[in-house]
Structure 1
Amino acid sequence: MDRLNVGMQVEIKRSDGRVHGAVVTGVNHATGGVNVEWFEKGETKGKEIDFITLLKINPALNPENGAAKPPADVFKAPKAPSKVENTANGKRAMPQPKVRSSTASTPIDMDSTFVQAVTTNNHVLSTKSAKNTPETSEAPFLPAITPDAQPTASPSMDRLNVGMQVEIKRSDGRVHGAVVTAINQATGGVSVEWFEKGETKGKEIDFLSLLKINPALNPVKDVPKPQVTEIPRPPSSNSQKYPINNASKPPADVFKVPKLPIRRETISNGNGDGNRAQPKPKSRTSTVTTPIDEDVTYIQNTTISQPPLLEKPLKAMIPKFDEPPPSLVSTAKSACVNEVERLAQEREKRRYQQAEVKKQMEARKSIDPGNPNWQFLGMICDYREQIDFRPLRMDDYVIDNRITVCVRKRPLSKAEVNRREIEVTTIPNKDHLIVHQPQVKVDMTKYLENQVFRFDYTFDENSSNEMVYKFTAQPLVQTIFDRGFATCFAYGQTGSGKTHTMGGDFHGKTQDCTKGIYALTAVDVFRTLEQPEYSSLGLQVQCSFFEIYGGKVFDLLAKRAVLRILEDGKKSVQVCGLKEMQVFSADDVMKLIKLGSLQRTAGTTSANANSSRSHAVFQIILKQGRKEEVYGKISLIDLAGNERGADTTSSDRETRLEGAEINKSLLALKECIRAMSMNKKHIPFRFSKLTLVLRDSFTNQNAKTCMIAMVSPGMNSVENTLNTLRYADRVKELGSGSVDTKERDDSDE
């Protein structure tokens, strides 16, 4: 544990498998435990880790890591003969002294023994070279390494810490700051986060890409490769040059040690005189991590007591290494310094986020200066920038469904524009609608709650009545010529545009009946009737127009005569006294629509000054033969405006009773359509007079229904808009689905 210091940055592994950095705060040599601390989720955490476990994740802490051991067969030193001592009984072998080995941890830990050994070896080489013996070719040589050469190192991630502020480059070329949230040592990835457009975004960046933008993170400088030079020696025919290389090892015969004579001296003892071998001096084997480990081992094992010969050239052979780079030195920092640096980084991060929020606020204010709801308007504009708009077009395909549910959004009225209201509804494509509901938190923070609805068709504010008719009522015309019953009704709050869609455009207080669904349906009926396959059937076209108000039925074509709804013996609902007028052209239908519209019941509510307080039903009936049997029937219904109780608090008792009756009939209509879509045997059409009149449209097998939900785009009508959309959604229950967005440059943001 000598390499472990307090304040050192290490990697630890959590119980869930995550690996991140931590700081050593304490080292217990007795138990082998290491105390570490790290910063996570706004607080400092710590624990004690076993040193053996820490070594598995941080191999650089192992003092023996990186020391390469030479092969035993190459660096085996020549076995010296045993020392012999003359005794009175004879000669006996003396045990050799033990060799003490030490491991050096620095590349320049070379003592005078190494220098003296190299000097002695050179003296032997020069002596044999002068004698011109064959042993010269087997003598080894030592290459010299230039002092400036240093080992190369790969980029290290030690200077990168969690919470550090770095610069990142986006795919669109922008460069801005970000905060490091995680470091993956295995894959070399760095996770960063930044604050943009009111939300926190993040992505993972390769460490090498991060180094290009943040060169200060690279602790290793470009170091040239070590240059190998050879020491000249006497030429020989069998001489070979083997530069030192860790990847390739020279043959074993190069390092063969010549046998040297054993020096003897005469000693005398109590038993007699005799000669005995001089004891070999103790040599210390030193293992270093320099590129000349192999020659050092060879020379130290062949120590010869000779005077130095080439002392000056050997000093140039000893490599002079500079100090290791700063990343390899463990800089111990106190916990106070680390905490100050962390607080400084968090302060810079907060300032950057506040600056980004301020820029966004200024950009939102510039959209509509002076608007009191500019914050919500800016959020809605930011949301719409991410949407790929593909609205409904006239040439799109019309789907033939038994029950069709559509939504139409009207534009802002002049009164809403003068009140500086903002639009809270968005139609991105032909079958989705998004409501941006403004919300305020407890701390007065404003945000949007985006709710997505899906229907068969969605019409934006640019859609005309002709487009709405093509996808809603026009497919129903063919149904009545196939002996079927069709129903098309408009539903929505007061002032959402129901009468405009069904009856026609308004120019002031006058209504153009030629542009409504009533008139467009009549034109298509007479056009189809002129076709050869139907002209020979002898069909007659009759029309009726009545309203349901307060649970009673009034005939709009007979000066508001009160009608009764009864059921005959065939279980068919009959409206007794209803006036059905025969028409021969579309112009006759227009006259009836104008006559009946003047007789409708209208009232004034807090939500609308001219609110329709009744359900208006316009029926086109095809009858065949003299008995006038019903061949087909289409009912076009302009429902009364639904209102919440909160919108009618200032109204009188009669108005509130009207609203209760309207909501009751609308609930019954919804339940009948749901039962029809689910193919239930029982349809609850007796819950209200409206559903009782439309019984044939619910029970007939060849029946089709189309619902047009009308919504207002203003912010003040968002509650009514949500109620209308929920009502329409429960009719068919298609599900919200997903909205296509634009392709972003950074997909992991």
Structure 2
Amino acid sequence: MELLVEVIQSLAYATAWRPLSQSEAKAGEIDRKTQSDPQPLFSVSVKRQASSAESPWKSSAAFHTIFDPEDSNYKVYTTVVWPLIDNILKGENCSFFGYGHSGSGKTHTILGYDFQDTQQLGLCLAAAKQLFDALQSLNKENKGQQLGIGLSVFELRNKSAFDLLNNRAQCHIREGSDGKVHVRGETEVLEGGKVRVRPIVQRPCWEFESFKRVLVQALGQRATGSSSVHDQSSRTHAVLELEIVSQVLLDSRHALYDRQSELVPVGKLATDIRVEEESKGFMQTPDGKWAPNPDYKINQERIDAAEAEKDRFEARVKAAEEDIETVLKLSGSPCLGAKMVFVDLAGAEYYDRNATQMQTIKQAAQERQEGRQINSDLLALKEVMRAWAQNQKRIPFRSSTLTMVLREHFMSTRKGNSGIIVTLSPATEQYEATLNSLKYASLVGAAVA
């Protein structure tokens, strides 16, 4: 895999050329050149074939390192991700995105396909392995809370989320009262009118082998679609969140969920009582206005008692939230609660305006619709990255479901702790898609440089 790494103000950038398959080699290879600029940085120029008379397209100078086609995933990992592992152990958050058209190799890079060969592990598993090695040393020094990794895996398809650790259960994306965007599971109605809204499943793992087993099972739930480019194309955005956790932290969060579920019926009862009393205490006059009902006196004591009970349960929720903060502060491990997020973006879709009718027919209506939604998400992601890197007051997170979900990751990640890996196909028959991927990378790079 030939890879170019770009380091700019806010994002570590990588662009990867995957090897040609045997069938692609017969059709020819894109002519590509890497040019060094004084910074010293590299720019990339491409044209359909070496023999073509067309002028090559040239990217901006932004790429920092070039990997040869025979370089392993592990070498990519040590260059792009490994330098940020220390940041995680210091308590900072990091995020990495895999971007590229269908069949360009981004899933191989982010997730990997060979889960046994340590040299070919995807960036996510390689990071988890190194984190577990570091946590093992910390756990020997710290006889209190033992640290592990909590794994959450979900995918976004069209405008819905699906929990891959819960049999692809459909989830809801909601903005909470705290102003943060949450991915929530189904609402459960419990005894006594309690209502529990579970967050997306997080599976705690205390050793690397169990983590790998859980991740592989989750990825087996991922949806693939009928892309005309790749018959196992990822038609979803997969989000993998790795968080440093302890059992004490997990227990305190479950206690918060219980306190929240207890508050729901109490809060609803207080609202119902207020509405009931006020509806009896006022009456509509013939002219359509509202006036006090002389035949009924509002029972303010009843309202106050219900509100006092609600306040008591709200205080219990607040106390549970404070307990979580206390666990994080007193753990003695700054990395507790730190997150590393990997996003395997759905295959970007481009349409060759010069394609023949037969080539156009290959795409079904559903695939075209999915492609439009994917492209819309990726455009929104570019605009968010641009606004975020430039510290603009308004960042358009609401432009798509994808950017809404990633909002908290962006807001909690320090500049310089994020990276994008743009994967490319060298096949001549995929030249248009490759060119557009390069243009996308160049636009993002120019926006955040």
Same fold (TM over 0.5): yes
Please say if 1:567 is aligned against 2:273: no
Tell me the CA shift for residue 559 of structure 1.
0.8
Tell me the CA shift for residue 457 of structure 1.
3.6
Counterpart residue identity of residue 399, structure 2: F
SS at match of 1:682: coil
- Could you tell me which residue of structure 1 aligns to residue 408 of structure 2? 696
SS at match of 2:408: helix
Distance 1:735 1:691, change over 3 A: closer
Please say if 1:417 is aligned against 2:44: no
- Could you tell me which residue of structure 2 aligns to residue 88 of structure 1? none
- Could you tell me which residue of structure 1 aligns to residue 317 of structure 2? none
Please say if 1:587 is aligned against 2:209: yes
Tell me the CA shift for residue 450 of structure 1.
4.9
Verify the 8 A CA contact 1:603 1:612 in the aligned structure 2: yes
Please say if 1:636 is aligned against 2:258: no
- Could you tell me which residue of structure 1 aligns to residue 160 of structure 2? 552
Verify the 8 A CA contact 2:92 2:414 in the aligned structure 1: yes
Q: For structure 2, which runs of at least 5 residues remain unmatched after alignment? A: 186-199, 254-323, 325-335
Tell me the CA shift for residue 460 of structure 1.
3.6
Match of 1:459 among 59, 67, 70: 67
- Could you tell me which residue of structure 2 aligns to residue 519 of structure 1? 125
**Mapped partners of 1:534, 1:702: distance in 2:** 29
Distance 1:528 1:490, change over 3 A: same
SS at match of 2:201: coil
Verify the 8 A CA contact 1:437 1:449 in the aligned structure 2: yes
How big is the alpha-carbon RMSD for the aligned residues of Structure 1 and Structure 2?
3.2
Tell me the CA shift for residue 529 of structure 1.
1.6
**Mapped partners of 1:660, 1:445: distance in 2:** 31
SS at match of 2:375: helix
**Mapped partners of 2:91, 2:149: distance in 1:** 14
- Could you tell me which residue of structure 2 aligns to residue 468 of structure 1? 76
Match of 2:444 among 721, 731, 740: 731
- TM alignment of 1:270-419, pairs within 5 A: 402-419=10-27
Tell me the CA shift for residue 721 of structure 1.
1.6
**Mapped partners of 1:400, 1:668: distance in 2:** 20
Which has the larger share of helix? 2
- The higher radius of gyration belongs to 1
Deviations 1:29-78 (A, max 9, x none): xxxxxxxxxxxxxxxxxxxxxxxxxxxxxxxxxxxxxxxxxxxxxxxxxx
- Could you tell me which residue of structure 2 aligns to residue 216 of structure 1? none
Counterpart residue identity of residue 360, structure 2: T
**Mapped partners of 1:734, 1:458: distance in 2:** 22
Tell me the CA shift for residue 540 of structure 1.
3.9
Counterpart residue identity of residue 430, structure 2: S
Verify the 8 A CA contact 2:8 2:445 in the aligned structure 1: no
Match of 1:685 among 394, 397, 401: 397
Counterpart residue identity of residue 592, structure 1: V
Q: For structure 1, which runs of at least 5 residues remain unmatched after alignment? A: 1-390, 737-749
Tell me the CA shift for residue 534 of structure 1.
9.5
Verify the 8 A CA contact 2:204 2:245 in the aligned structure 1: no
Give % identity: 31
- Could you tell me which residue of structure 2 aligns to residue 603 of structure 1? 225
Verify the 8 A CA contact 2:30 2:48 in the aligned structure 1: no
SS at match of 1:645: coil
Distance 1:465 1:491, change over 3 A: same
Verify the 8 A CA contact 1:616 1:639 in the aligned structure 2: yes
Counterpart residue identity of residue 557, structure 1: L
Deviations 1:460-484 (A, max 9, x none): 4232101111122223323333332
Counterpart residue identity of residue 623, structure 1: V
Tell me the CA shift for residue 422 of structure 1.
2.4
Equivalenced residue count is 336
Deviations 1:161-220 (A, max 9, x none): xxxxxxxxxxxxxxxxxxxxxxxxxxxxxxxxxxxxxxxxxxxxxxxxxxxxxxxxxxxx
Please say if 1:436 is aligned against 2:149: no
**Mapped partners of 1:567, 1:602: distance in 2:** 28
Counterpart residue identity of residue 515, structure 1: L
- TM alignment of 1:177-188, pairs within 5 A: none
Please say if 1:528 is aligned against 2:138: no
Tell me the CA shift for residue 447 of structure 1.
4.3
Tell me the CA shift for residue 435 of structure 1.
2.8
**Mapped partners of 1:719, 1:431: distance in 2:** 25
TM-score w.r.t. structure 2 length? 0.67
**Mapped partners of 2:182, 2:98: distance in 1:** 24
**Mapped partners of 1:497, 1:439: distance in 2:** 21
